[in-house]
Structure 1
């Protein structure tokens, strides 16, 4: 018992209050894992031996930095061979264009030294014999011959240009493979896991490293499908990381489908920037078991409980304005110094808050 100065009993600030009904804060505790904000797996794009690894797990890189490189000696040899083919194709194009120009300027069909002359002097052959062959004999047409020669020269130019374009395409393919020989950082981050060492032989598709952006972090949890309906993107819920102090996390993603074998839905939560956590850490997330406002529970101030009793009890006010001692069953603690009452009280009943420990049925606070 408390005593004031002069050995007089202390004055209690007891008062009559009404029992409240508030939304239930019943929560389920689920295990989750800290994950990076973004995570990718860099895989080999070409076969070969690893000749360079920039760092170990935990090493940080900027966007565009080379992290792993596969030996590209064979690709460089192929590239040099393609460059030689390009030189040959370019020379062929120049030669075919020269032959086509020659046919335009000096057609072979008009050559005075060519058939169908009979070995006569060139002037006589051009003015007499060839016109005679065109008009009278009918077995030779110089214009058709010239058209055929032009088409042959033009076809040669087209074929040479196609060969050059084919060689250029092969060079582009080799250059793309050379770029794929390097695994570069897609964004600022750190190496989460290194899977190869210098000298390892890799094949296309083989994982090389796991890389993540860890400036911001998230929690990932498999939530039972029955609880997902109570969640929404943007909702704030409490969480604990490795049993440390409680922090608040924000729901940022709810997967649209459930795992058919476990009947769970993957949910991601954003952690505060200042949260002390590393990828892979264990965390607990506290999720509501019902939608906000769906279920009401009775709560009272914790100071309304009579102190020193083996069973929790309170003083209620009857209709005739007298107090009566009543046992209650308590539930989870709420915010603002209140506690849930599972049974023993109903909504809107009146109780005495902060009664003295010696109070019993019939005790009433002093009128003010």
Structure 2
């Protein structure tokens, strides 16, 4: 029994071996691909964002293509006046404020005038006295003339003496001279009255031309003394400018003055109105050179008037080789040419958004100066400058340099 039990514990080495399992090689390849993809993702993360140079999409005007010269200056009125009075006195009434529009000869202020009005009344009274005296002398002349005629009639028959006749003749001549003197007195008194009237009129300050009040230098109660520098006195009351005569003055280097001619077409850009381009023409070139700055003063008039243009606004002037058509005076979207590349047969730019480069199709147009007009992006967008072939849509980027 013991021997039988031990025999059961022996291994039968003659039993057939198990059949080998079939191998699947595609599983090995799939695993390799997955591992490579994982390693590529890890490598991209470790590599970090690509460093790129960027440029900003901006606006440009086609007139830059035929601009000969650029200059800066200021808007000034050709006709401007500091309005004052020749009279001296206290400002009694002021009827305008800054920005008020006035017409020629419109009363804008008055000075106290009681003293000169009293002088005018006295001069007017003297005219009346002179006229009354003339009437008296004319009556005396008529009486003397009648006496002289009577004496002439009585002298021939010797009814009166020669002495009587001579006395009547002298009286007539004296009366005649008195009439002439009285007439001259009237002229003199009228001249005095006119001078007094002028003094009264000088206390009334009128606008010299149609314009707009720019500044107000005095207030009611101030002492106006135009020809004196006395303390606490004012000279001019207001400053007025004719807005229809606004022009731009610019200093141009004498080395560039040969590029400018009378009536040359210009384009004006005001810093206060950056979205509007104004047409202009050269009106005057001042025939003298500023030795200190080696410049020549050039004045450009506005072809189109605009109520928004005000004196002393800073302006930029582009002197053109030809007149700008209306379409060239409109802004176009432009970018540096190096930002536009060809991918898959189309023109694109890479716009940076949230740290990634987004591929955006664009339509390129004509060159505008050193820039290229494009459609498909908007001013203010930041694009990659000279993107390489390795830059793909959605790639993370970092700005290394801004152009």
Q: TM-score, normalised to structure 1's length?
A: 0.61
1:176 corresponding residue in structure 2 = 198
Are the aligned partners of 1:239 and 1:284 in contact in 2 as well (CA < 8 Å)? yes
1:278 corresponding residue in structure 2 = 310
Q: Specify which of 157, 160, 170 is matched with residue 182 of structure 2.
A: 160
Please give the alpha-carbon distance, in whole angstroms, between the structure 2 residues aligned to 1:339 and 1:261.
33
Q: Which runs of 5+ in 1 are unaligned?
A: 1-23, 112-122, 135-139, 293-301, 310-334, 341-356, 359-368
Are the aligned partners of 1:33 and 1:282 in contact in 2 as well (CA < 8 Å)? yes
Deviations 1:78-128 (CA, angstroms, capped at 9, x unpaired)? 0111111111111110000001110001239949xxxxxxxxxxx9xx987
Give the structure with the larger helix fraction. Answer: 2
Structure 1 position 287, deviation (Å): 3.8
Please give the alpha-carbon distance, in whole angstroms, between the structure 2 residues aligned to 1:306 and 1:82.
87
Q: Which runs of 5+ in 2 are unaligned?
A: 1-64, 228-234, 323-334, 343-364, 371-387, 390-403
Give matches, 1:94-105, under 5 Å. Answer: 94-105=135-146
1:148 corresponding residue in structure 2 = 170
Are the aligned partners of 1:109 and 1:145 in contact in 2 as well (CA < 8 Å)? no
Please give the alpha-carbon distance, in whole angstroms, between the structure 2 residues aligned to 1:252 and 1:180.
36
Q: Specify which of 102, 105, 122 is matched with residue 61 of structure 1.
A: 102
User: What secondary structure sits across from 2:287 in the alignment?
Assistant: coil
Please give the alpha-carbon distance, in whole angstroms, between the structure 2 residues aligned to 1:258 and 1:154.
69
Instruction: Please say which structure displays the higher CA radius of gyration.
Output: 2
User: What's the RMSD between the two structures over aligned residues?
Assistant: 3.8
- Answering whether residue 79 of structure 2 is matched by residue 38 of structure 1, we say yes
1:190 corresponding residue in structure 2 = 212
Are the aligned partners of 1:108 and 1:149 in contact in 2 as well (CA < 8 Å)? no
Q: Specify which of 68, 80, 91 is matched with residue 50 of structure 1.
A: 91
Structure 1 position 273, deviation (Å): 1.6
Please give the alpha-carbon distance, in whole angstroms, between the structure 2 residues aligned to 1:339 and 1:129.
117
Q: TM-score, normalised to structure 2's length?
A: 0.57
Are the aligned partners of 2:264 and 2:319 in contact in 1 as well (CA < 8 Å)? no
Please give the alpha-carbon distance, in whole angstroms, between the structure 2 residues aligned to 1:261 and 1:209.
33
- Structure 1 residues 265 and 304, CA gap change in structure 2 (3 angstroms): closer
Deviations 1:310-352 (CA, angstroms, capped at 9, x unpaired)? xxxxxxxxxxxxxxxxxxxxxxxxx952668xxxxxxxxxxxx
- Structure 1 residues 262 and 152, CA gap change in structure 2 (3 angstroms): farther
Give matches, 1:196-275, under 5 Å. Answer: 196-205=218-227, 206-215=235-244, 217-242=246-271, 244-245=274-275, 246-271=277-302, 272-274=304-306
Structure 1 position 279, deviation (Å): 1.4
User: What secondary structure sits across from 1:92 in the alignment?
Assistant: helix
User: What secondary structure sits across from 2:240 in the alignment?
Assistant: strand
Are the aligned partners of 1:89 and 1:161 in contact in 2 as well (CA < 8 Å)? yes
1:18 corresponding residue in structure 2 = none
Please give the alpha-carbon distance, in whole angstroms, between the structure 2 residues aligned to 1:108 and 1:92.
24
User: What secondary structure sits across from 1:96 in the alignment?
Assistant: helix
